[in-house]
Structure 1
Amino acid sequence: MVPSVILTAFVLVLPVELPDKTLFATLVLATRFPALPVFTGVATAFGLQVAIAVTAGSLLSLLPEALVSGVVAVLFVVGAVLLWRSAAEGPEDADDAAAREQTSFLRAAAISFGVLFAAEWGDLSQLATAGLAARYEEPLSVFLGSWAALLVVSGLAAFLGRKLADRLPVAVIRRVAAGLFALFAVVAVVETVRTLAG
């Protein structure tokens, strides 16, 4: 484990997920079910999604170094552009749910897992995680940092509820995240050029 890689993954993924659909999906689930089973299901879904993204990024790292850094640069550029363009759109819509349902812990956790597992495919946090896994070749560190960021976001959504959503400066968060993606894209481009020149 490399603490700097864990921190890098955490810092990159956290602002991407704050204004994301998964935050608002978790908020909606927390209005229907108790917070603990929602958090349990969501945390499990995130863990599996991060493991898949790290595996994809690790497989990507088996390719030639210049190709990997070029692909990583493209992933981060795409992420930066998408985040910047979405900054003016405001938070993603989330329907207000009815009053909390009386249901078992396992059922509420399973529903939360299913909703978030389906929602997370192709998400920017997955792109970032795969890119970091390919760049650093530290899959466990990337996994821990990314998953920790996702746990913080889902924990805030599940346990603090609607109050959090009303106070998030979504446009600022998305622009900061876009800046981080752009910075990582520049680093990857420099590495690509250095590899090709060397």
Structure 2
Amino acid sequence: MTLSVLEGFTKSLAMTVLSEVGDYTFCVAAILAMRNPRRPVFAGCMTSSVVMTILSVLVGWATPNLISHKWAHHTTTLLFFVFGILSLWEGYTEDGDENELEEVEEKLLKAELKGNRGGKAKGSSKTDEDSKKEKRPFLTNFFSPIFLKAFSLTFFGEWGDKSQLATIGLAADENPIGVVLGGIIGQALCCMVAVIGGKSLASRISEKVVSLVSGILFLVFGVQSFISTAETT
């Protein structure tokens, strides 16, 4: 493994783990795993995370081809400082009353209640259920509903998230292979922890501490990126 790949891998792994632990998608995986079989939940969350990581890295890798590498580097440096300041601000202003796990659980519960009401309104006889199964699309028959639910909730939860934007920035400035490997392994570790015992862990995680540590990490990346810019000029 070359130095550039190792550097991209290390940054991506550290950023992913600190950004995802206790995050929305982490809580989604934890709650779904408590109510459903763990394998399809892990498969759905992990597949979504891999797809999102690859898409983000591709966007970041293509960015220097659209604008100069110099401006892509400056943009990445600025993003690190912005994310670091925002994370530190969130940590300092966190009052401890809100709990990400409780908020996500409440949202999922409301969605399930709406789905159940809709199912009762349409009728829930066995004949109707059989006919629904026959009319299901091929992909729904091939992948379980739990897999699709975990995939969709994770994918749309990550879209436009701070960790996705940071991954794009990293891929624009670091070796994309290292960023992909670090991101996927980091996502796998977070998904595994969330599915195995994430609900208990998420309820004990201090969002304040996670935000502060993430903020410091982003600022370190920003300083390192700024120094490398100064050295090349």
Amino acid at match of 1:6: F
| CA apart distance, 1:139 | 1.4
The one-letter code of the counterpart of 1:61 is P
Inter-partner Cα distance in structure 1 for 2:95 and 2:25: 16
Q: Residues 3, 73 of structure 1: CA spacing in aligned structure 2 closer, same or farther, 3 A cutoff?
A: closer
Matched-pair identity in %: 29
What is the CA distance between 1:193 and its match in structure 2? 4.2
| Cα distance in 2 for residues equivalent to 1:28 and 1:115 | 12
By how many angstroms is 1:188 displaced?
2.4
Unaligned runs of 5+ in 2: 110-140
Shift of 1:89: 5.2
The counterpart of 1:70, out of the listed 66, 70, 74, is 74
Q: Could you say if the C-alpha distance between residues 89 and 47 of structure 1 is closer, same or farther in structure 2, counting changes exceeding 3 Å?
A: farther
Change in Cα spacing, 1:194 to 1:3, as seen in structure 2 (3 Å) is: closer
Q: Is the 8 A contact 1:50 1:143 kept in 2?
A: yes
Contact 1:54 1:143 (C-alpha < 8 Å) held by counterparts: yes
- Larger-gyration structure (1/2): 2
**Alpha-carbon deviation of 1:75?**
1.6
Query: How many Å separate the matches in 2 of 1:182 and 1:161?
Result: 28
Structural mapping, 1:168-179, within 5 Å? 168-179=205-216
Q: Look up the SS of the partner of 1:94 in the other structure.
A: helix
Q: 1:161 to 1:188 in 2, by over 3 A?
A: closer
User: What is the aligned residue count?
Assistant: 191
Report how far residue 133 of structure 1 moved.
Answer: 0.8
Q: TM-score, normalised by structure 1?
A: 0.86
> Is the CA contact (8 Å cut-off) linking 1:46 and 1:116 kept in structure 2?
yes
SS at match of 2:159: coil
Long gaps (5+) in structure 1: 99-103
Distance 1:73 1:184, change over 3 A: same
Which of the numbers 183, 193, 204 marks the counterpart of 1:146? 183
Aligned to 1:101: none
Note if 1:85 corresponds to 2:68. Answer: no
1:9/1:116 Cα in 2 relative to 1: closer, same or farther (>3 Å)? same
> What residue identity is the alignment partner of 2:83?
G
C-alpha displacement of 1:134: 1.0
Q: Which residue of 2 aligns with 1:22?
A: 25
Structure 1 residue 132, shift from structure 2 partner: 1.3
The CA distance in 1 between the partners of 2:39 and 2:82, in whole Å, is: 35
1:109 is matched with which residue?
147
- The equivalent of 2:10 in structure 1 is 7
The TM-score normalised by the length of structure 2 is 0.74
Letter in 2 for 1:74: L
Q: d(CA) in 2 for partners of 1:56 and 1:193?
A: 26
- Report SS of the residue matched to 2:105: coil
Q: 1:131 aligns to what?
A: 169
Number of the residue aligned with 1:95: 105
Deviation at 1:41, TM superposition (A): 0.1
Q: Residue by residue, what CA displacement relative to the aligned partner does 1:151-196 show, whole Å, maximum 9, x if unpaired?
A: 111111111132111222321122111111011112223344445x
